[in-house]
Amino acid sequence: MVKYNPQKIEKKWQGKWYNSNIFKAQDFSKKKKFYALVEFPYPSGDGLHVGHCRSYTALDIISRKKRMEGFNVLYPMGWDAFGLPAENYAIKMGIQPSITTKKNTANYKKQMQRLGYSFDWNREINTTDPKYYQWTQWIFLKLFEKGLAYKEKMAINWCPKDKIGLANEEVIAGKCERCGIQVQKKEKEQWLIKITKYADRLIKDLDSVDYPERVKIQQKEWIGKSEGAEIEFILNNFKKTIKVFTTRPDTIFGCTFLVLAPEHSIIEKVKNSILNWQEVEQYIIKTKDKSDLQRQENQNDKTGVELKGVKAVNPADKKEIPIFIADYIMINYGTGAIMAVPADDKRDEEFAKKFNLPIVRDYQRAGFEDFGKKTVQYKLRDWIFSRQHYWGEPIPMVFCQVCNWVPVPEKDLPVQLPKVKKYQPTDTGESPLAVMEKWVNVKCPNCGGVAQRETDTMPNWAGSNWYFLRYTDPKNSKKLSDEKKLQYWMPVDWYNGGMEHTTLHLLYSRFIFKFLYDIGAVPKSLGFEPYKKRTSHGIVLGQGGVKMSKSLGNVVNPDNVIKQYGADTLRVYEMFMGPFEQMIPWDEKGIIGARRFIEKVYTVCLKGDFSKPNSTLDIQINKTIKKVGEDIELMKFNTAISSLMILVNSFFEEKELLTKENIKSLLLILSPFAPHLAEELWERIGFKGLCSNQKWPQYNTTLIKEEKVLLIVQINGKVRDKVEIMADKNQKEVEEIILQTPKIKNLIGSISIKKIIFVPNKLINVVL
């Protein structure tokens, strides 16, 4: 027998697959559609890592099974190639981003094809293609047209290393999510998108989708909806008020002082009346050097300064109360001001004690309705959309001294990113595009006067907000996608991605889809949500459970694994290494075990004696078909492979009795996991056509019925016995058996039974 040679086998079948249209999705097929989606990668110079493979392999298994079940499957792939990662790599290499990106995407594609992924490469997209980002720019223009895109000077998160402004979602524990450097605060004019206008819908519509509960909770907490009241405090001797949001308006009679964020706009308006202005100004300057995280972390050491000479009036009891500024109050949350009730709030109590402020313990809690105006607040902030970098989509706006900000006419899209000699970020905080006078200076589309293009570019997330729509019609030059194709393919049936994108891409793309729905750019019949189902995978850690990183030298390159063990071995190991949703460390012993399994399949299938019909293995085969099929749908890939391993071991034990039908069934259910091996054996044994094109096998229900099961018996939730009974007995029958067994009868004695919980064929719990 010829020895198993994965390199030869895999190259052969990849050639046959990718030179045909076997994985091509058919628009408007009469088959039921299934749209499977994985997050498209930004193509870094390091290529794919084994973490990517985990997600792609999982959805590839699901997609292959769905095709075999008769679905018209769309499983596309593309490149999120604009943004900071690609630019940083280009800077490091000293090569233009356009050149490095093209090279990197070609390498990624080659790696994906080496793994045998069944992507429909006819629908490949790239966010850096002007034919693609024309529509990213069009979406921005529509946001501006509807009043949802605006420019404002504000304190932003500034990364001193990458020299770029960051959205709140891109700051993790006070540091830049990309480089890990401590973020600073910097005032700058920025384009913002009013995602806050959709906050309530982004929460409410989560009820209509199949997402893991942890994803829903994370999104809801990030949006941070709070129902309460807005109360106005009049400033004494001023015709001005301070608005305070509180979830406890009933505590207003206990309010003895106000605390404002140092950035609060009222401070500048009354500064001439602040007697200690120099002290206040110094505190404000000092606060600017702190990140939001630092300000929130220093809760034990309360700092603040009173605005001496300025008082507020408590509208409940008409008493004058002092006003402080303190860095633990954030301008972005609520109204940037709180009414302090030290008797009911520990934080307020600590502040009051430090500054010797009154604490009213026993106060009136009725009549607060006269001052409370009901309102809803959100923790979510508008999305900062400007980036002071070169490698991104140009923002299609021009500034005119007469007309202010004017959109580029739709007929002039795309505004193409020009080629530059210097693409590195600048020390001034401006984009490298700012020095390109010929590109910057244009005529105002409105009045024809002198105007300048916006030189900031869009963020990493701009192109990924709607890419799933473009896959349905990737070559359309008239609109972002044809309505009929959207109607056929959308929504996405199953979307898998990382938990780290829950408050970034997942939130942003849900918002953009709702906006496109509102303006009629997607059919109304699709509903408000782009994804029916979302799942998330656990990351692959390095050997020993530490994070993979280049500095530790423990990054596993899939190319090396494929070269040594084969793509099918890598696919099987990635799915077998542990529960899909959990973080799992890479284990070299595990990859060797997966290779041995593959070799065992190869050996047993080619050694079988198919001369005599035999039904010895029929029951186990049918059970395995059922188990593997169900486990794939539940993403329990590790237990599915375990079942396949058990079956193959049985084949070895009964190899003299194997039939051709036995082998056929094995290859069909193995095919999504190890497709190259399945195709090779399918052909060698003499089956017709491609294994990938066959129907998924149906199991025989009469053969999988268990005759006996081992039932766990609990009393008050504790396991007390295990009893073997006939399968499929109803609760009454099981109760009669269990309650008469000597052990259980003795344990219960004369104690009365409150209720009995019964899980058929598995468990019975007697609650006393």
Give the C-alpha separation, 472 to 487, whole Å.
Answer: 10
Torsion (CA) 262, 263, 265, 266 in degrees, nearest 10 = 0
Give, as one character, the DSSP assignment of residue 398.
E
Helix (H, G, I), strand (E, B) or coil at 665: helix
- Residue 708 main-chain phi, psi, to 5 deg: -135, 150
Paired with 572 in beta bridges are none
CA 455 to chain centre: 30
pLDDT digits (tens, 9 = 90+) for 380-397: 989 999 998 899 999 999
| CA–CA separation, 541 and 611 (whole Å) | 48
The number of C-alpha atoms within 13 Å of 738 and in the hemisphere containing its C-beta is 27
Confidence (pLDDT) at 142: 98
The phi and psi torsions of 493 (rounded to 5 degrees) equal -80, -35
The residue-averaged pLDDT of 602-631 equals 83
Give the Cα separation of 480 and 81 in Å (integer): 18
Question: What is the sign, positive or negative, of the torsion defined by CA atoms of 269, 270, 271, 272?
Answer: positive
Stated as kind and residue range, the H or E segment containing 136 is: helix 130-145
Higher confidence at residue 732 or residue 185? 732
Question: Is pLDDT of 54 > 70?
Answer: yes
Determine if residue 308 is left, alpha or beta; phi over 0 gives left, psi from -120 to 50 gives alpha, anything else beta: beta
Beta carbons within 8 Å of 257's beta carbon, 6+ residues apart: 321, 322, 323, 324, 340, 352, 357
Mean pLDDT of 255-271: 94
pLDDT value at position 552? 77
In the block, tokens 């070299």 appear at 588
User: Is the confidence at residue 411, as pLDDT, over 80?
Assistant: yes
Confidence class for position 165, pLDDT limits 50, 70, 90: confident
Of 321-330, 396-405, 611-620, 727-736, which range is least confident?
611-620
Taking alpha carbons only, the member of 635, 630, 629, 614 closest to residue 670 is 629
Domain 558-703, CATH: 1.10.730.10
pLDDT at residue 212 tops 80: yes
- Report percent pLDDT > 90 for the chain: 66
**How distant, in Å, are the alpha carbons of 321, 359, 391 from that of 346?**
19, 11, 48
161 is in an annotated binding site: no
Please determine, for residue 706, whether its predicted confidence score (pLDDT) is greater than 70: no
Say how far apart CA 162 and CA 194 lie, in whole Å.
Answer: 25
Mean pLDDT of 82-99: 85
Architecture of domain 706-767: Roll (3.10)
Q: How confident is the model at residue 369 (pLDDT cuts 50, 70, 90)?
A: confident
* pLDDT tens-digit readout, 536-556: 999 999 888 888 877 778 888
Task: Please compute the mean of the pLDDT values over residues 520-545 and round it to a whole number.
Answer: 92
7-27 per-position pLDDT tens digit: 999 999 999 999 999 999 999
pLDDT at residue 282 above 80? Answer: yes
Distance between CA atoms of residues 502 and 623, nearest Å = 37
pLDDT (0 to 100) of residue 166: 77
Residue 154 · residue 187 · CB < 8 Å: yes
- Banded pLDDT at 170 (limits 50, 70, 90): confident
Across the chain, mean pLDDT equals: 91
CA distances from 731 to 5, 178, 736, 757 (A): 54, 57, 9, 9
**Do β-strands 184-193 and 534-536 pair in parallel, antiparallel, or remain unpaired?**
unpaired
Dump pLDDT digits (tens) for 476-516.
999 999 999 999 999 999 999 998 889 889 999 999 999 99
User: Is the predicted pLDDT of residue 155 greater than 80, yes or no?
Assistant: no
Are 410 and 141 within 8 A, CB to CB?
Answer: yes
pLDDT of residue 123 exceeding 90, the answer is yes
- What CATH homologous superfamily does 225-378 map to? Valyl/Leucyl/Isoleucyl-tRNA synthetase, editing domain (3.90.740.10)
Domain chopping of the chain, boundaries: 6-129+461-541, 225-378, 558-703, 706-767
> 403 falls in which pLDDT band (50, 70, 90)?
very high
What confidence tens digit (pLDDT) does each residue in 289-344 have? 776 667 766 566 789 999 999 999 999 999 999 999 999 898 877 899 999 999 99
pLDDT classification of 169: cutoffs 50, 70, 90: low
pLDDT at 18: 95
Q: What is the pLDDT of residue 610?
A: 65
- For residue 2, pLDDT beyond 80: no
pLDDT band at 654 (very low <50, low <70, confident <90, very high): confident
What pLDDT shows up at residue 299?
60
Predicted confidence at residue 564, as pLDDT, reads 96
Q: Mean pLDDT throughout 751-765? A: 89
The pairing of strands 450-453 and 494-497 is: unpaired
Output the pLDDT for position 78: 97
The sign one gets for the Cα dihedral 738, 739, 745, 747 is: positive
CA triple 183-184-185, angle to 5 deg: 130
The pLDDT value given to residue 300: 64
Two tokens, residue 745:
């009868």
Rounded to an integer, the average pLDDT of 159-183 is 79
Outline where DSSP puts E strands in 160-271: 164-166, 171-172, 175-176, 184-193, 225-235, 241-246, 257-260
- Whether residue 593 is predicted with pLDDT greater than 70 in this model: the reply is yes
Tokens describing residue 503 = 């408050």
CATH of segment(s) 6-129+461-541: 3.40.50.620
- Residue 764: which residues within 8 A CB-CB, separation 6 or more? 711, 712, 713, 714, 731, 734, 735, 738, 756, 757, 758
Q: What span, in angstroms and rounded, lies between the C-alpha atoms of 760 and 727?
A: 8
> In this predicted structure, which of 100-114, 574-588, 706-720 has the lowest mean pLDDT?
706-720
